Chain A
Amino acid sequence: MARISINKVWKYYGTSPAVRELNLECDDGSFVSILGPSGCGKSSTMRMIAGLEHISAGDILFDGQRINDLPPKDRDVAMVFENYALYPHKSVFDNIANPLRLRGFAADKIKERVTSATKLLEIDHLLNRRPSELSGGQKQRVAIGRAIVREPKLFLFDEPIAHLDAKLRAHMRGEIKHLQRSLGTTMIYVTHDQLEALSMADMIAVMHDGELQQWGTPSEIFNRPVNAWVAGFVGEPAMNFLSAELRSEGGNTVLTHPNFNIPLLPQQVALVNGSAKREVRMGVRPDALSISTTRPDGPVIEGRIYVTELLGGDMLVDVQLADARIRVKTSTDFTGVADDACYMTVNRDKWHLFDIEDGHAYF
């Protein structure tokens, strides 16, 4: 177990920076997820922690001790790779025993540890198989087994379940989270899947273009994104963005758009720095909108149904506005069909306004 501090870390490949001045503090025993699209620097960060890449500038500390210059074998971390990286010519037992053998454990100790790890992962009946005889999910468990058997200070999981099918992925999310909780080992989990990060992590670091965008709990990331990029990346279906204008109307600050005029809540007015007329980006998640084919009271967004998609328990409605299309999540009771006029009300506690220039969030 360890507390991981990443202080002003940079990573350059040639002259192009892959990670720009990253600062993170991972508490002892916490589950931290680094979330971002491919090429955002998340894997570089993990590889610098593992010692597989040099750190171009800055420091990484384990429990206050600088580890920049330690080779991977001396860092006491265990890593699970995206492609599992099992040794194809070795059996499951030998694969899992490998890190213990490299560290010179006695044979009976190795057997004991491997047995308990494989029991925990429910792969104890596969010990004599080779990786080529295993399914994707089983390989993935062997890779995890190889990581946990050594009882390291830190787990590094690099998109470990990205290649599994959807159902198994959902199952393994729960398994991995439970495993981390029961072992209590600090975990850094890299993923591009926002659902994995939100559902598993204690803290999430959202990265984009090598820069840390936001560091927070899953609910902070989801409910209070610091900028339009984070807001758009996190959440499925994705947040709707509309260009709108802030205007003063009869003492109220109103958000206007060809399809609607909706006043801001009083506490939100204070956050947008004055009521001067200007362009902003409005963001609202599909589930913060409610849709109806009859006009309700109060401010509404008018539109025309473009298409409806039934998703089992929910329904997604794509609505055509004057200049854009937005998606609304509603219940399966919704009866509107394509080309019907429709009316949407916004849950104003859950909408967001972003600066049109740099995308930072007003609220």
Chain B
Amino acid sequence: MASRDVVQYKSPLVVAFKIFSVIFLTVYLIWTLLPIFVMFVSSFKDLLEAFNIPEVGDWAGVTVFFDFTPTLKHYHSLFYDNNFGEYMANSLIAAGGSAVIAVTFGSMAAYSLSRVEFRGKGDLFFWIISTRMAPVVAVMVPLYAIFRSFDLIGTLPGLILAYTTFNLPFAIWILKGFFDNVPYSIEEAQMVDGATRFQAFMSILPLVAPGIAAFIVLCILFAWNDFLFAAIIGSGGAKTLPVATRELVQPQNIQWGAIMAAGVVTTLPMMLLGLVIRKYLVTGMTMGAVKE
């Protein structure tokens, strides 16, 4: 097999571009990682230490960022005084529940849209995706009215349903593309071998695993980071982490330490999810299945 690398020759322009890209990436990394670093470090600092900031231009003073005695008191107050354990469970259930429901129905709908020809299919597909075209705030009032008449406000099932409303069209849209790439002959072989249509559908799910994994990440991220639905539909009984964090800002004082700790608690699970699911995101599962 030939080399897979793109051949590149050194010209002054290429060298200049390389230097530029290194500088750009360095600045970009500092820009994106510094706030996360400050959040992480501050969550272990006493409030006085956290606000100990060097003068502008005093580069030697950077060391004061690292000059502190670590403390877990903010985490303690988060979980013992502010009930964050429950809010975290709410976030997990809402995000996970809507992801599971959206994947289950989304994959079946996407498979049908990919495989079955029926009248009005194009219109139906457009209609499904068009539900994502309106901004969430635009539908919030009618959605709230509907949810209230079903007594779903302030409940976890209500929140799950709200997230599913927005994630399901997305799931159908993403997964249809993945199903379109699975050769028909694999299901056909299954059916000739003795499988029902549903068994054949189940048998090709491993081939769309990268799509399902990608979607689960996006779906959980959407629900986990959501503030609007959680504040309005989940308010009260189904408080999630972003809403609970917001409530740490009180008129009389802002609990910076606890907010930083809450930020860490909110960010870490998503980072872990990214690490766990990374290998499923690698496409190429279908390679070698069929001769193209």
Contact = CB atoms under 8 A, between A and B. Distances in A.
Interface string A154-186: 001000000100000000000000000000000
A132 B287 contact: yes
Contacts of B203: 87
B162 to A, nearest CB: 35
A84 B185 CA distance: 8
Interface in A48-101: 50-52, 71-73, 75, 77-79, 81-89, 98-99
Contacts, number: 90
B16 interface: no
Contact of A146 (B185, B193, B199, B287): B193
B54 interface: no
Interface size class, chain B: 20 to 34
Interface in B190-245: 190-196, 199, 203, 206-207
Contact of B193 (A78, A82, A133, A139): A78
A89 B193 contact: no
Interface string B8-21: 00000000000000
On chain A, which size bracket covers the interface? Answer: 20 to 34
B288 interface: yes
A45 B172 CA distance: 34
B286 interface: yes
A131 interface: yes
Nearest to A156: B192
A84 B191 contact: no
B291 A136 contact: yes
28 contacts: A51-B191, A51-B192, A52-B191, A73-B193, A73-B194, A78-B192, A79-B189, A81-B185, A81-B188, A81-B290, A84-B289, A84-B290, A85-B183, A85-B188, A85-B290, A86-B189, A86-B290, A88-B285, A88-B286, A89-B206, A89-B207, A89-B285, A99-B194, A102-B190, A102-B195, A103-B194, A132-B289, A133-B288
Given A73-B196, A102-B194, A85 B189 contact: yes
B186 interface: yes
Contact of B188 (A52, A133, A150): A52
Q: Can you list the 7 inter-chain pairs with the closest CB atoms, starting with the nearest?
A: A132-B288, A88-B289, A83-B290, A99-B193, A85-B185, A102-B194, A85-B189
Contacts of A103: 194
B116 to A, nearest CB: 13
A345 B289 CA distance: 53
Contact of A83 (B207, B287, B291): B291
A132 B207 CA distance: 13
Given A81-B185, A87-B186, A98 B290 contact: no
Contacts of A82: 185, 291
Contacts of B183: 83, 85
A83 B206 contact: no
B193 to A, nearest CB: 4
Contacts of B291: 82-84, 136, 139, 163
Interface string B257-292: 000000000000000000000000000011111111
Nearest to B191: A72
Interface in B71-101: none
A139 to B, nearest CB: 7
Contacts of A83: 183, 185, 290-292
